[in-house]
């Protein structure tokens, strides 16, 4: 295989876009801060002794609200896009998204159990409530994905198409159980569930950020190691096997990385659609199917897109806030249609 030739201009462009997104995410919000205050506030967050008491407000807004939110957006966007690449590579289908192996519906089921079950048990203690929801969503995603993987495997061989069908069946099943919980829920619980399904970076805090950051870094380091195997998979499974790749192991790793990454992202920010589907697609259009480029480029683009979407989400209706899932779908769905129509022409 050829040594990887990174298209430098693409990465410069993506790096620029991501920097711009980071800057906007730190600088823009319903509270308008002068640019200089934003800079000084950010410096203060990192411990630089600048300015006086007049910067306290800026430091608080940047340090406690915008910084954790920006980091959350960065991690969620990157990990969803990476998982999207892994799934589209595994299923050899550009329409695959991380939801196919059941991780999204499993997480939604976990969340429904936590929200509705928690409410009907008289509520979990206030301090634990967000953690119960996150842990339950994460566990739900992992369990359903593991089931899908088990159903797709026979005699040590994993059939991707069986896995796909098992994923569809378990998604439908999870949907039915979520529907039942929706029916049982009271009004207030129902709204919590609805909003959770639309995703949000609102209320991000460092305490809930670290697990996701660790997972994102791990997945971001691990998946590129399997880029060559993903490239070989494009030729077909048996071809990849003949090229000397341990395909069963690669499949296992891809599914595990997806479940871990998407599970952690969903647990931290709720359901955010379209990043995992549209971003890898978009990047593939720009740079072609070489996963050695596709993986890092998608991570950068996913993070940038999610941060831009979040800036829109927090400014569009300020001082209220749009769930970010609405914004990503508003951007993603028309773009996806455009891709479909373009392909037909």
Partner 1 sequence: MRVSVRLASLCCAFVLSQTVLAADTLPQRWVSAGGSITEWVVTLGGQGKLVGVDTTSLNPADLKKLPSIGYQRQLAAEGILSLKPDLLVGSEEMGPPPVLAQVKNAGVTVESLSTKADLPTLEHTLGRIGTLLGEPSRAANAFADYQQRLKQQAEWVSAAKAGTAAPSVLLLLSHAGSSPMAAGQDTLGAWLIERAGGRSVTTHSSYKALSTEALLALDPEVIIFADRSIAGAEAKAALLKQNPALAATRAAKNDRLLAIDPTLLVGGLGPRVPAALATLGAGFYPAAQPLTADAKPQP
Residue ranges in contact with partner 1 by CB under 8 A: 29-32, 57, 60-61, 64-66, 126-127, 129-130, 183, 185-188, 191-192, 195, 200, 202-205, 208, 314, 317-321, 323
Compare residues 60 and 333 and give the one whose CB is closer to partner 1: 60
Give CA–CA dist 144/150, Å, rounded: 10
Token pair of 76 as six digits: 């969620």
Report the 10 Å Cβ neighbour count for 144: 28
Q: Report how far apart, in Å, the C-alpha atoms of 276 and of each of 95, 184, 192, 329 are.
A: 10, 31, 24, 11
SS3 state at 323: coil
Rounded to the nearest whole angstrom, what is the least distance from the CB of residue 205 to partner 1 in the complex?
5
Which of residues 128 and 338 has its CB atom nearest to partner 1 in the complex?
Answer: 128
The helix/strand/coil state of 182 is helix
Decide: 297 and 14 in contact? Cβ < 8 Å. yes
Tell me how far apart the alpha carbons of residues 252 and 54 are, in angstroms, rounded to a whole number.
54
Minimum distance from residue 186 beta carbon to partner 1 (Å): 4
Name which of 208 and 252 has its Cβ closer to partner 1: 208
CA 171 to chain centroid? 18
Tell me the backbone φ, ψ of residue 69, rounded to 5 degrees: -65, -40
Q: Is 157 helix (H, G, I), strand (E, B) or coil?
A: strand
22/65 with CB nearer partner 1: 65
CB of 59 to partner 1, least distance (A): 11
CB 138 within 8 A of CB 259: no
CB of 64 to partner 1, least distance (A): 6
């Amino acid at each position: 295989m050829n040594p990887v030739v990174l298209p430098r201009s693409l990465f410069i462009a993506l790096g620029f876009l991501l920097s711009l997104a980071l800057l906007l995410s730190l600088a823009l919000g319903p509270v308008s801060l002068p640019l200089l205050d934003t800079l000084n506030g950010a410096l203060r967050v990192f411990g630089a002794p600048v300015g006086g008491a007049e910067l306290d407000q800026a430091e608080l807004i940047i340090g406690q609200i915008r910084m954790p939110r920006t980091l959350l957006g960065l991690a969620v966007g990157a990990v969803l896009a990476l998982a999207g690449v892994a799934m589209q590579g595994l299923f050899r289908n550009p329409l695959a998204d991380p939801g196919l192996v059941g991780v999204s519906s499993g997480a939604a089921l976990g969340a429904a159990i936590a929200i509705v079950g928690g409410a009907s048990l008289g509520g979990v203690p206030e301090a634990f409530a967000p953690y119960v929801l996150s842990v339950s969503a994460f566990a739900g995603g992992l369990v359903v994905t593991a089931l899908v993987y088990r159903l797709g495997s026979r005699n040590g061989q994993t059939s991707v198409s069986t896995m796909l069908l098992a994923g569809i069946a378990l998604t439908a099943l999870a949907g039915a159980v979520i529907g039942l919980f929706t029916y049982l829920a009271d009004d207030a619980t129902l709204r919590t569930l609805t909003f959770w399904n639309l995703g949000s970076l609102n209320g991000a805090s460092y305490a809930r950020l670290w697990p996701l950051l660790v997972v994102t870094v791990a997945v971001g380091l691990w998946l590129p190691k399997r880029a060559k195997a993903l490239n070989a998979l494009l030729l077909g499974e048996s071809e990849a096997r003949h090229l000397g790749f341990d395909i069963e192991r690669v499949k296992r790793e891809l599914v595990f990385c997806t479940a871990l990454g998407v599970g952690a992202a969903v647990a931290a920010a709720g359901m955010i659609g379209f990043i995992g589907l549209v971003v890898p697609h978009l990047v593939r259009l720009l740079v072609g199917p070489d996963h050695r480029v596709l993986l890092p480029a998608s991570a950068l683009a996913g993070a940038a897109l999610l941060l831009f979407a979040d800036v829109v989400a927090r400014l569009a209706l300020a001082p209220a806030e749009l769930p970010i899932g609405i914004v990503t779908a508003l951007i993603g769905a028309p773009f996806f249609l455009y891709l479909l129509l373009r392909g037909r022409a």
